[in-house]
């Protein structure tokens, strides 16, 4: 039984969730090889000290994430990485916990580049007054972080999440959990590559001002430039050619 599981249990976490986190992390970090038969249900129940229904629910959740597959008369086996649901925030977080790779962050930043500029444009057109206020508040939090009065990372994430939510596109809004999970890793990296302790509040404010002013074209362009800059930092760190488009 891992330390993370026992800690979660001691803190009163939901048993099924704690087991899912523990086993999911173990699968993604390579403690089980692709294609191997997963431990027997009875063994896992004994390991975690839980009933079969609790264990089965955790296995069901891991199966939904693409990590496991049950076959009649063959038991439950571990799935190869290309079967994992990378749009599941837990799976992506576990992947980044196992060993940070520039390539993974580059690929995710490419996804951001495809989504966030469009989300910014939609936010400029469709954001409610309350949503515009949340975007402005995130900028103020970033400024406060510059003065040591807020957390720079959470403020930065709050900005990007608030823009996705303000797009009022139901698919983009579904992207917020995934973005939040990944930005906790990527923001630190890109800031380190820039040689700065935190992201620029003023750089983000240019995007926020365009959204609040209802200037969709400018909001999209400025968001694109900001994310492309982060992407090029990652590409350079990985020894890859930078984007020129």
pLDDT one-digit tens code per residue, 83-92: 999 889 899 8
Q: Which of 84-93, 95-104, 115-124 has the lowest mean pLDDT?
A: 95-104
Measured CA to CA, the distance from residue 45 to residue 236 in angstroms comes to 47
35 and 156 co-located in one domain = no
- Higher pLDDT, residue 89 or 117: 117
Q: Same structural domain for residues 72 and 136?
A: no
What's the pLDDT at 105? 87
* 94 in a structural domain: no
Residue 103 has a CB neighbour count (10 Å cut-off) of: 10
Residues 158 and 226 both lie in one domain = yes
Structural domain ending residue among the three candidates 52, 83, 114: 83
Of the candidates 107, 72, 85, 83, the residue with the CA atom closest to the CA atom of residue 185: 107
141 shares a domain with 75: no
Please report, for the domain that includes residue 181, its CATH number: 1.20.120.530
**Domain-located, residue 242:** no
- Number of domains comprising the chain: 2
Same domain, 39 and 126: no
Over residues 105-133, mean pLDDT: 96
- Indicate whether 164 belongs to any domain: yes
Q: Are residues 128 and 230 in the same domain?
A: yes
Distance CA 172, CA 152 (A): 24
> What average pLDDT score do residues 149-167 get?
94
Would you say how long the chain is, in residues?
A: 245
Is residue 56 located within the same domain as residue 117? no
Residue environment code for 207-221, b if the CB has 16+ CB neighbours within 10 A, otherwise e:
bbbbbbeebbebbbb
Average pLDDT, the chain: 87
In the structure, what pLDDT confidence band is assigned to residue 196 with cuts at 50, 70 and 90?
low
* CA proximity to 143, closest of 55, 208, 86, 99: 208
Residue 20 domain boundaries: 3-83
């Amino acid at each position: 039984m891992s330390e993370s599981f026992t800690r979660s249990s001691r803190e009163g976490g939901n048993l099924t969730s704690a087991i899912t986190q523990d086993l999911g992390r173990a699968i993604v970090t390579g403690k089980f090889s692709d294609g191997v038969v997963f431990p027997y249900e009875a063994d896992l129940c004994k390991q975690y000290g839980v009933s079969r229904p609790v264990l089965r629910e955790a296995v069901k959740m891991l199966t939904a994430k693409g990590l496991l597959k049950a076959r009649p008369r063959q038991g439950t086996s571990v799935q190869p990485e290309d079967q994992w649901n990378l749009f599941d925030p837990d799976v992506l977080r576990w992947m980044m916990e196992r060993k940070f790779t520039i390539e993974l962050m580059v690929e995710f930043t490419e996804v951001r580049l495809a989504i966030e500029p469009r989300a910014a444009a939609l936010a400029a057109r469709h954001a409610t007054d309350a949503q515009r206020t949340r975007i402005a508040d995130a900028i103020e939090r970033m400024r406060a972080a510059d003065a040591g009065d807020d957390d720079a990372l959470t403020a930065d994430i709050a900005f990007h999440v608030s823009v996705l939510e303000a797009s009022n596109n139901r698919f983009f809004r579904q992207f917020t959990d995934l973005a939040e999970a990944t930005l906790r890793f990527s923001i630190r990296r890109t800031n380190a590559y820039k040689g700065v302790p935190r992201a620029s509040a003023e750089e983000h404010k240019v995007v926020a001002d365009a959204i609040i002013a209802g200037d969709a074209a400018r909001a999209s362009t400025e968001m694109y430039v900001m994310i492309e800059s982060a992407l090029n930092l990652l590409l350079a760190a990985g020894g890859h050619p930078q984007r020129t488009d």
